Amino acid sequence: MNMTNKILLVLFLSASAANAADFDVDVLPESLAAETQKFFAAETGRARAQMAAFSDEDLQKITTAFKKAHPASEQRLFWLIEESYRRNAERVAAERIRFLYIAVLLALGIIAAFAGLTYAQTRKLKHSTNQQLPVAVAPASVKPAPKRAPAKKGKHK
């Protein structure tokens, strides 16, 4: 996209955002209108935190009221913005899955390396203990010592 188209797109988005600020919250039910007005008036960080307070039904009511108050071209602009957010979320999810996959592969690699080193160490110890032991010798037959006859007691000279 050349620079002129980018500038026109930014101007169109800012003009649409200005028109969106004219959204009339009075068409919403009273409790939802007050909550939505408080959301619009809040600072950015606080407004992001307040988004979770809206139920699915509340969001559906706000969407319906917005569609009734704005022409199709402005609604389609928000479709594009939503599509941009959706694609970004998919990209982030794909990156997280890829990093998780890499982490699992690395963990399996570490386990395999540890198992291999343990196996090599065991073989080395087994080999060294086999060299230190004498070769098996047939057991010698041991005969009991012959019994001696008691010594004669004789006269001593």
* Same domain (yes/no): 47, 82: no
Give Cα 88 to chain centroid, integer Å: 18
Whether residue 139 is contained in a domain is answered as no
Whether residue 99 is contained in a domain is answered as yes
* Same domain (yes/no): 125, 79: yes
pLDDT of the residue at 87? 95
The residue range of the domain holding 102 is 72-129
Mean pLDDT for the stretch of residues 49-54: 87
**Tens digit of each residue's pLDDT (9 = 90 or more) over 58-100:** 888 888 888 888 888 888 888 888 899 999 999 999 999 999 9
pLDDT of the residue at 139? 64
pLDDT of the residue at 136? 57
* Same domain (yes/no): 98, 110: yes
pLDDT of the residue at 98? 97
How many of the other CB atoms lie within 10 Å of CB of 65? 20
pLDDT of the residue at 7? 52
* Same domain (yes/no): 60, 109: no
* Same domain (yes/no): 77, 125: yes
* Same domain (yes/no): 35, 59: yes
Whether residue 33 is contained in a domain is answered as yes
Please tell me the distance from the alpha carbon of residue 62 to that of residue 79, in angstroms, as a whole number.
15
Whether residue 157 is contained in a domain is answered as no
Whether residue 141 is contained in a domain is answered as no
Asked if residue 65 lies in contact with residue 22, where contact means CB atoms within 8 angstroms, the answer is no
**DSSP-derived secondary structure for 110-139:** HHHHHHHHHHHHHHHHHHHHHHHSPPP-PP
* Same domain (yes/no): 86, 117: yes
* Same domain (yes/no): 55, 100: no
**Tens digit of each residue's pLDDT (9 = 90 or more) over 15-32:** 544 444 567 777 788 888
Whether residue 48 is contained in a domain is answered as yes
> Count of domains in the chain?
2
* Same domain (yes/no): 42, 88: no
DSSP count for the chain of H helices, then E strands: 5, 0
Would you say residue 48 has pLDDT above 50? yes
